[in-house]
Chains A and B, each alone.
Chain A
Amino acid sequence: MLLEREAEKAQVAEALAAARAGDSSLLLLTGPLGIGRTALLHQLAARTEDDGVRVLRANAAPMEQDFAFGVVRQLFDSLLTGAPEELRDRWLREHGGFARTVFADDAVPAGEGRAAAASEAVLYGLRSLLADVCADGPLLLLVDDLQWVDTPSLRWLAYLVKRLHGLRAVLVCTLRDGDPRAQHPLLCEVTDAAARVLSPAPLTVDAAQGMIQEHFGERGDEEFARACHDISGGNPLFLLSVLLGLAVNGHQPTACHADAARELRPSQLRERLAGCMRTQPQPVRDLAAAIAVLGDQGDPGLMARLAGLDAIGYAAALRAVHELGLTATEQEPRFVHRVVQDAVESSMTVAERERLHDAAAELLYRSGCPAELVAAQLMAVTASRHSWSVEVLRAAADTALRRGAPDTAARYLRRALLDGALSGEGRARLLIDLATAERGFDPAACERHISQAIPLLPSARHRAAAALRISPTIVGLTPPSVLDLLHQVAEDLGPAADLAGTARDLSLRLEARLRHSGHEDPAELAAAVARLNGMGEEPALGSTAERELTAVLLTAATLTARLPVGRITGIAHRILEREPATSARVHSALPLVVIALVASDSVRDISSWLSAERHTARQDTTVVDAFVHLEQAMVLTARGRPAKALDHAERAARLAEAHWQEIGVISTVALTGVALELRDPALTERILDRLGRRRSASLALTTALQLLKAAQDTGHGRWSAALETLLACGRQLEASGWRNPVLFPWRPGAAALQVRVGDARAAFALAEEEHLRAVEWGAPVAIGRALRLKGRLHGGDRGVNLLRESVDVLRASANELELARALLTLGRRLRGGSEAEAVLQEAVPLAAACGAPWLAERAGTRNGRTAPTVRPEASLTRTERTVTGLVGRGLTNQEIAGELGVTTRAVEKHLTHAYRKLEVSGRRELIRLLPRLQPQNRG
């Protein structure tokens, strides 16, 4: 089907009519690639043959340009083969002089052909043969792709067009825009003689719809049609290829496939374009290749230089590319469609492509483009000869690391290693850089590459520095191989006391790593605490190494609870004072400081420290991001915000899934901590079933999971099993020297269970022990929790007093949830009275603010009272309360709006919010609930 070409067909018909009357003419059909010139010729041929017009056709091809008279022979072939024998004989007999030259069976060599072309006899003979044919009836001569017509044929065409008089013929030639041969003098002579130039216009959207209809048998969505039209620029060939491609992929012409249409790179079209590319002169091909290689990055200057063109040559080539219809605008070197790029690339050899990418890399490098752009070009080259390529890849890796894409960074560095230009130390440095990138996502590879680099390094100092690039294992056991490596380099380097400057720093940091690797060993822990004590009141924290070592020692002190909280937080804060919250910290011992502060119930400052992270917009992809989330989770849990913490913990766990070894352990620990607070059975089950299966040797994880298991058992009423688990857990912790009551609160649970199983004495003993431990440690949350435990165990005034004391202590804690718990326990214990009222009044909003209103609810129902204060109305704003109050008085929204002097829209908004918070479905339910809300409203 040929759309929107009626005007052109009419012109030809008109010319044919004139030819019948003896007025022959030449029509020229021009346009860019794919505009449908050939298709139009086909149509003309088919249409006019029916009308008794004899049609002679020829298609010129670039491959046949050397074939003298190729086009002439094509034109006459159909004539000679189609004509009755005697007619043919007559023609050939009459014009026999030239026939042998032109119609001989062997192809005429070009040189001879040219000589023959000059021969007037041939020119004349061919024309008079045509004249003979015309005598029988009008004639339509169609020559496709005039730009590729061989010179002898062209010579004849130039001769013919000046001697059309006396024939009854219309000659239609097509000429592709932008072909350099259009400037050939003979071709100009032909085109100059054209009576009309027809330039078919791009198709309209309607025509695109027509084609869609034809291909899919249904009308396309407007958006789909528009997308197809946009990407093809109305070029029928492009459009057709896109539609075919879509049909092959089984897409329907619906709006949702508009994007598919945009993305499609039809291979058929690519072939056509590639073919077109191959016939172009060198500068044009060079420019197209440059555009393909540089893509959107290149400004015109770069494109020109890559193509090896000066400003003038560039302008000319760009114009040619545009005339071919390959670029969207005349000024910008950007392809009209991705498929053009594919075509250009496929017309290059691999070697050419590599050479170009290499040249592009150099250009981008010299013109100061960002390293990553240069690297992207280098990545497409197998071996680059530039002296700077390693440097630039390294710089690109730096940038990639900085924007949080360590895998990209590692790719650049691997490419740099491939160059192989480096040996010995240079190679070692590169390996170390690679390992540094990899530690963010592939610890094993990191370790491997460090091990490869170390033997290449010349001094102990260098080797130590390299070994330190492996991230420390925050929780759990350091892999033995790493441990060996650390021991070895530490031994090489010697003790810090004998060293100065960088070497001393390295030694201290190695000590930190080695000491931390013993954090499950009570003897090592004790030694670490002793080391910390040996450093005096204010350990030196001037260098990163000193801070790292101190952080490790602090952790030992925290786990064992051997130093008072005050000392620990003092030192921890001094460390944080000297460390910006950059992402690099996750590869050092700094996360340990966070753990120490969490254990010390001193997390207020740390959240502002972490909030510095907010300023860096990062995508959630890497270990670094996982760390950020899990630190937030730990801090939020410690502040009594388990619901909020859950979000972060889950995200951390998701990110950590791929990296079980290191981050996986610690994120599971964090998630378990949240689950213990939330007491959500589903979550608990999920953790135990899924994550808990992946046991690790880490004591922290084992403990966390055991605590959770016990909680689950408790929930299911399997008290003795739960108790057994907890006691076993406790024994293990004690044996390892892990005595911290905040981090490992196994006694409160165990004591409660012992009461249930009837062993009150044991319960009392445990509670007492916990209290002592907590006081010794000094964190308010631990003391408060222990006091609450004791308060619950003791009856009467003693118990009440203990609970009061617990509340007082917890007011100093950052953990508001724990305070809410203590308040509720106290309120329950008081069994009414003004103090109970006051305590519950305080507890309920607190629990709600912590995101744990169920806590208050449970407390209320267990008390056997309807609890006016247990619903989440605490969260209503003042206005919402006012509005709900007015609803209770039976006012309409309109009236309420009048009363309050606001719009009804605002009233509706407030009501909607109130419904949501009170979990009611609408006004009626709200009114039913209102009596219970009244005390709140008065309060």
Chain B
Amino acid sequence: MRRTYSHTMQFNGLPFPGREREQAALARVVTDLGRGRPAVVTIAGRPGSGQRALLGWVARLAADRGLRVLRAEATPSEHALRYGAVDQLLTPVDGLGDGTRQVLVGHGPDTRLPGLAELLRSARDQPTLVTVADVGLLDPASLRWFGALIRRLPGTPAAVVAGSTGGHHPGWSGITSAPGPVPVTQLTLSALTDRDIATAVALICGEPGEEPFTSAAAEATAGSPAVAHEALNRFAARGHRPLAARVPELRALITAVTGEHTTRALSGLPDTAVAVLRALAVCGELLDLPLLYTLAGPGAAREPGLRATLEATGLTVASGTGLRLRNADVRTRVLEEMTAAERADLFARAAELAHRAAVPDEEITRLLLAARPAGEPWAVHTLRRTCAAALRAGRSAEAIACLTRALDEPMEPGSRARLGLELAAIEVLAAPEAGDRRLEEIIRTEGDQLSRARTRAADLGLTRGGVEGLRRAVLSALPTAHDVERAELAALYWLSDEGREDDTALTLADVPPLPERPPCPAQAGARAWQLALRAENLALTRELARRAATGQEGGGALILPRLAAARALLLTDDVEEAGTRLDVLHTELRRQHARAASALVLAVRGELHLRRGRLDMAERDAAAAERCLPHARWHPDTAPYLSAVQITVALESGQTDRARALAATAPPTGEREGAAWAYLLFAQGTVDLLDGRITDARERFRGAGRRLLRRGHINPALMPWRSMAARACQAAGDHEEAERLTREEVALARRWGAPSALGWAQLGAGRVAREGRAERLREAAGTLRGTSSLLALAGALTELVRTELDAGDRCAASALLAELATLTTTHRPSSRLAERVRVLTGRLGRPAASGAVPHPAWATLTEAERRTATLAGHGRGNREIAELLSVTTRTVELRLSGAYRKLRIRGRAELRMLIRATEGYGTDVA
């Protein structure tokens, strides 16, 4: 330990900040001594309050005045010597007899008070100041000796200045507090004030410190002069200046010095006191004093004067009726001075006490996190409760820590697996790979009672996208699996197989292929997805997809097959149903805190909304997906899907810059596998097309196609990559290829039989057709009107309006434009579609729409209501609308009244005004 502060005292003889009163008193004593008057002074204060420094100061003062100074210091090692302190004191005194020396160094019998007489005698010639530090540690013989000295002071030019830490030293107080022959001056050292610290800063650093610096110094040192001086000296020695920016360095130094002081204080304390300090360090003020003593161990509560001893160390302060450690630095050091095992044990005992005292879960958890396994059920329960609370509050790191710790407790394999599943579900937020590995291990764990856990683990892991390792694990679990588990694992295996691209790799698995019409719901979901991808048998796909969900919602059902079923339903044009399924799935997953799966479901729902042309909802879902699981935490094979959805949403809502940025930052489609890459390539291709990079666009669309075709995923309903590639080809002048691609798409769409896919294909064909364009586009619009693929419909209508305008048929164009406008009611004015409507409106010779915000209630209308109402608002009759939308007039009436109610309007006239206001048309347009 360095004690550099002692020589601070030396420089310039400047006053010691904050000790002016004491210095004055001591100076008086020295002056009086010079005049032959004896005195006794005691200086008391906590350790580190600077008693030694004052003793040194007064000693030098006296020496400077020509007085004799004799000094002694009581320390533990001197305590072991008989007359140790006296020997120190008398070392410089000449003329001691040999006998006295012999007694002092322990030879010969104890002639009472060796050397005292000589001292007193010589003091007559030479006034003498005696200083003795830490009188609390004086050996009994020395103590007696000093008592005798004080009693003999009257009339002798000698003064005694004694320092002590703490006021509780029975022997010494016996001497000084009793009325003696010489009046005793008692000086008590208090903590330094902020102003004192500021002065010390200026003194040591050579310039006044900035205010934040000095106040930080005052606060962190808690006014302890020893700590302040040592830390400041080290600070100055590094050549730093006392600036606000240097506060962190200062704090670090103070922490270190405080730590050193703490260690020293601890080394001098009895075991019971140390035990109490440790208990305090572990629990803080969590437990009241009796419990704390219980924790500290036997004897603590019975020890007399323990509390006073503790307070005398300066490490604790009273807090109400209890105690607390002075500050965090002290706490840390007290903990550091234990071995790891002691700490873990103490924390465990503290946790148990805290549990019995029924303190809040969070506090018990805090203790448990640092404790050795408690081995009792309450520990796991507490940790899980805290975990749940932390998750609710969005503190995922804490939640993960709780469950990780819970797994250290001994438990049944079944419970362990369940806990592992829970942990893996949230671990994805911090260390997704760890979660995957945890799941793999659960899958590889044998035992009949774990069959459920194994399938759940495979499900959870494969949903996130971790494929290879998990698939190997599934394969290793399959041979011993039976019945439901076997069926479900096979379903999961095949589902994950569809996500892979490379079928050249060796799959030595003996996984039974899925039956044509599997009875097991999980297999039905998987089979539905297989059929949908290959565009085989729409009716069967629909049937199986529905079966995958029936009677299964709630706790037990697997996620991945149900998600696959929902996606299959999206491809069979059962969009509403798919949406409902996704909603249910999402609610359930959120409850389970399965973040990766939730995020994926949200992204899929985003795609669904995109198809429906509900950009607002798509945007919300895409954002929610990323919030649910940040992009970086997605599995690299699945993340491109999120990127794809985000890019498309951004593109459609007119945020082209964002779309470009997303497309550019998306990971390169390299050697990674996974069906998600096709989606990303497609989305990037659309951005390329927008920016006129025709060749890149074509390659990207083709790339998407290659990745799909390679696995036989021919369904054009997945994404119209052929139409888009055809557009790029046409732009590059390759009409033949463009027509070939669209022909193929139309044929495949017809084969599949979902109207929206056919509509997309027809739209694609119409776009690149060199003749009969209008005809084809009308056909596409016709097909799409019956579907919920409103984005496609809007595309078809836009193209059609353009074609009609080009052909000069303003009347037809105007009618179509009106229909088109019904599709953009929920769009932001900036959306691509809204923009197009404005441009086309402009071409029609109408003022461009002002871009007003849609009526808020529009969003509450159903899709059908909105379209009907918009058409009505544009002045179309009910019969006309009925024809246009292929519904009965009765239906039109019902929808309109529904719309009036929701929009809180009375009738058609108001509706018309509303539409005009929304679309920014002039009011005089018929």
Taking beta carbons and an 8 Å cutoff, which residues of A are in contact with B? 28, 30, 118-121, 123-124, 155, 158-159, 162-163, 165-166, 182-183, 185-186, 188-189, 191-192, 194-197, 199, 283, 308-313, 315-316, 319, 330, 365-371, 387-388, 391-392, 394-395, 398, 402-403, 425, 429, 432, 457, 461-462, 465-466, 468-469, 501-502, 505, 542-544, 576-580, 582-584, 588, 608, 611-612, 615-617
Most chain B beta-carbon contacts within 10 A, residue among A186, A365, A580, A615: A580
Q: A367-B431, A395-B468 are in contact. Are A580 and B264 (CB under 8 A)?
A: no
Contacts of B7 in A (CB 8 A): 195-196
Establish whether residues A608 and B433, one from each chain, have CB atoms under 8 Å apart when the complex forms.
no
Establish whether residues A544 and B710, one from each chain, have CB atoms under 8 Å apart when the complex forms.
yes
A247 to B878 alpha-carbon distance, docked (Å): 99
Q: Of A166, A425, A505, which one neighbours B92 at CB under 8 angstroms?
A: A166
Chain B residue, CB-CB nearest to A175: B2
Establish whether residues B702 and A577, one from each chain, have CB atoms under 8 Å apart when the complex forms.
yes
Distance in angstroms from B398 CB to nearest chain A CB is: 14
A123 to B104 alpha-carbon distance, docked (Å): 12
Establish whether residues A185 and B268, one from each chain, have CB atoms under 8 Å apart when the complex forms.
yes
Establish whether residues B508 and A465, one from each chain, have CB atoms under 8 Å apart when the complex forms.
yes
Distance in angstroms from A502 CB to nearest chain B CB is: 7
- Could you give 13 example pairs across A and B, Cβ below 8 Å? A162-B73, A166-B91, A195-B6, A195-B7, A312-B370, A313-B343, A367-B431, A368-B433, A391-B472, A577-B709, A578-B709, A578-B710, A615-B668
Q: Which applies to chain B's interface (DSSP): helix, strand, loop or mixed? A: helix
Report if B393 contacts A (CB, 8 A): no
A162 to B81 alpha-carbon distance, docked (Å): 13
Contacts of B73 in A (CB 8 A): 162
Contacts of B699 in A (CB 8 A): 608, 611-612
- Complex interface bits, B662-701 against A, C-beta within 8 A gives 1, otherwise 0: 0000001111100000000000000000000001001100
Establish whether residues B706 and A578, one from each chain, have CB atoms under 8 Å apart when the complex forms.
yes
Establish whether residues B264 and A183, one from each chain, have CB atoms under 8 Å apart when the complex forms.
yes
Q: Of B77, B433, B705, which one neighbours A158 at CB under 8 angstroms?
A: B77
Establish whether residues B668 and A617, one from each chain, have CB atoms under 8 Å apart when the complex forms.
yes
Distance in angstroms from A158 CB to nearest chain B CB is: 5
Establish whether residues A432 and B506, one from each chain, have CB atoms under 8 Å apart when the complex forms.
yes
Establish whether residues A197 and B437, one from each chain, have CB atoms under 8 Å apart when the complex forms.
no
Beyond A159-B77, A403-B671, A501-B513, 9 extra complex contacts between A and B, CB < 8 Å: A28-B2, A120-B87, A183-B1, A194-B3, A310-B343, A425-B508, A466-B506, A542-B712, A580-B710
Distance in angstroms from A427 CB to nearest chain B CB is: 13
A864 to B75 alpha-carbon distance, docked (Å): 115
Report if B441 contacts A (CB, 8 A): yes
A365 to B435 alpha-carbon distance, docked (Å): 10
Report if B117 contacts A (CB, 8 A): no
Report if B537 contacts A (CB, 8 A): no
Establish whether residues B433 and A188, one from each chain, have CB atoms under 8 Å apart when the complex forms.
no
Establish whether residues B340 and A121, one from each chain, have CB atoms under 8 Å apart when the complex forms.
no
Contacts of B698 in A (CB 8 A): 608
Establish whether residues B77 and A185, one from each chain, have CB atoms under 8 Å apart when the complex forms.
yes
Chain B residue, CB-CB nearest to A401: B671
Q: Which applies to chain A's interface (DSSP): helix, strand, loop or mixed? A: helix
Chain B residue, CB-CB nearest to A582: B671
- Complex interface bits, B468-510 against A, C-beta within 8 A gives 1, otherwise 0: 1100110000000000000000000000000001111011100
Establish whether residues A616 and B340, one from each chain, have CB atoms under 8 Å apart when the complex forms.
no
Which residues 318-374 of B sit at the A interface, judged by CB distance below 8 A?
332, 335-336, 339-340, 343-344, 370
Contacts of A315 in B (CB 8 A): 332, 336
Report if B416 contacts A (CB, 8 A): no
Report if B375 contacts A (CB, 8 A): no
A744 to B765 alpha-carbon distance, docked (Å): 43
Q: Of A197, A283, A316, A588, which one neighbours B2 at CB under 8 angstroms?
A: A197
A120 to B703 alpha-carbon distance, docked (Å): 93
Establish whether residues B336 and A312, one from each chain, have CB atoms under 8 Å apart when the complex forms.
yes
Report if B82 contacts A (CB, 8 A): yes
Distance in angstroms from A135 CB to nearest chain B CB is: 14
Q: A192-B1, A316-B336 are in contact. Are A580 and B472 (CB under 8 A)?
A: no
Q: A195-B7, A197-B2, A313-B343 are in contact. Are A616 and B705 (CB under 8 A)?
A: no
Establish whether residues B91 and A163, one from each chain, have CB atoms under 8 Å apart when the complex forms.
yes
Contacts of B19 in A (CB 8 A): none
Distance in angstroms from B270 CB to nearest chain A CB is: 14
What number of residue pairs across chains A and B have CB atoms under 8 A from each other? 185
Q: Of A155, A461, A608, which one neighbours B77 at CB under 8 angstroms?
A: A155
Contacts of A615 in B (CB 8 A): 668-670
Establish whether residues B77 and A186, one from each chain, have CB atoms under 8 Å apart when the complex forms.
yes
Q: Of A162, A394, A577, which one neighbours B78 at CB under 8 angstroms?
A: A162
Number of contact residues on B: which range applies? 35 or more
Establish whether residues B437 and A366, one from each chain, have CB atoms under 8 Å apart when the complex forms.
yes
Taking beta carbons and an 8 Å cutoff, which residues of B are in contact with A? 1-4, 6-7, 71-73, 75-78, 80-82, 87-88, 91-92, 104-107, 237, 252, 256, 260, 263-264, 267-268, 332, 335-336, 339-340, 343-344, 370, 427, 430-437, 440-441, 444, 468-469, 472-473, 501-504, 506-508, 513, 668-672, 695, 698-699, 702-703, 705-707, 709-710, 712
Q: Of A394, A466, A580, which one neighbours B706 at CB under 8 angstroms?
A: A580
Q: Of A163, A308, A576, A579, which one neighbours B340 at CB under 8 angstroms?
A: A308
Chain B residue, CB-CB nearest to A390: B472
A308 to B256 alpha-carbon distance, docked (Å): 23
Distance in angstroms from A199 CB to nearest chain B CB is: 7
Q: Of A158, A579, A580, which one neighbours B75 at CB under 8 angstroms?
A: A158
A929 to B91 alpha-carbon distance, docked (Å): 109
Q: A121-B107, A330-B252, A391-B472 are in contact. Are A182 and B1 (CB under 8 A)?
A: yes
Contacts of B75 in A (CB 8 A): 158, 162, 189
Q: A612-B699, A616-B668 are in contact. Are A579 and B503 (CB under 8 A)?
A: no
Establish whether residues A608 and B3, one from each chain, have CB atoms under 8 Å apart when the complex forms.
no
Establish whether residues A312 and B503, one from each chain, have CB atoms under 8 Å apart when the complex forms.
no
Distance in angstroms from A285 CB to nearest chain B CB is: 14
Q: A120-B105, A312-B332, A583-B671 are in contact. Are A162 and B468 (CB under 8 A)?
A: no
Chain B residue, CB-CB nearest to A469: B506
A433 to B59 alpha-carbon distance, docked (Å): 83
Q: A308-B340, A313-B336 are in contact. Are A118 and B91 (CB under 8 A)?
A: no
Contacts of A611 in B (CB 8 A): 699
Establish whether residues B504 and A584, one from each chain, have CB atoms under 8 Å apart when the complex forms.
yes
Distance in angstroms from A389 CB to nearest chain B CB is: 12
Chain B residue, CB-CB nearest to A166: B92
Distance in angstroms from B469 CB to nearest chain A CB is: 6
Contacts of B703 in A (CB 8 A): 580, 612
Establish whether residues A309 and B2, one from each chain, have CB atoms under 8 Å apart when the complex forms.
no
Contacts of A580 in B (CB 8 A): 501, 703, 706-707, 710
Distance in angstroms from B296 CB to nearest chain A CB is: 18
Establish whether residues A310 and B340, one from each chain, have CB atoms under 8 Å apart when the complex forms.
yes
Contacts of B71 in A (CB 8 A): 165
Establish whether residues B336 and A395, one from each chain, have CB atoms under 8 Å apart when the complex forms.
no
A387 to B444 alpha-carbon distance, docked (Å): 10
Contacts of B695 in A (CB 8 A): 608
Establish whether residues A197 and B105, one from each chain, have CB atoms under 8 Å apart when the complex forms.
no
Distance in angstroms from B789 CB to nearest chain A CB is: 26
Q: A309-B340, A577-B702 are in contact. Are A121 and B106 (CB under 8 A)?
A: yes
Q: A462-B508, A608-B699 are in contact. Are A188 and B252 (CB under 8 A)?
A: no
Chain B residue, CB-CB nearest to A371: B433
Contacts of B431 in A (CB 8 A): 367-369
Q: A163-B87, A578-B710 are in contact. Are A120 and B340 (CB under 8 A)?
A: no
Establish whether residues A191 and B468, one from each chain, have CB atoms under 8 Å apart when the complex forms.
no
Most chain B beta-carbon contacts within 10 A, residue among A163, A402, A617: A163
Contacts of B104 in A (CB 8 A): 120, 124
Establish whether residues B336 and A191, one from each chain, have CB atoms under 8 Å apart when the complex forms.
no
Q: A186-B77, A369-B433, A582-B671 are in contact. Are A313 and B340 (CB under 8 A)?
A: yes
Contacts of A185 in B (CB 8 A): 76-77, 264, 267-268
Q: Of B468, B472, B504, which one neighbours A544 at CB under 8 angstroms?
A: B504
A615 to B432 alpha-carbon distance, docked (Å): 27
Chain A residue, CB-CB nearest to B88: A162
A611 to B73 alpha-carbon distance, docked (Å): 86
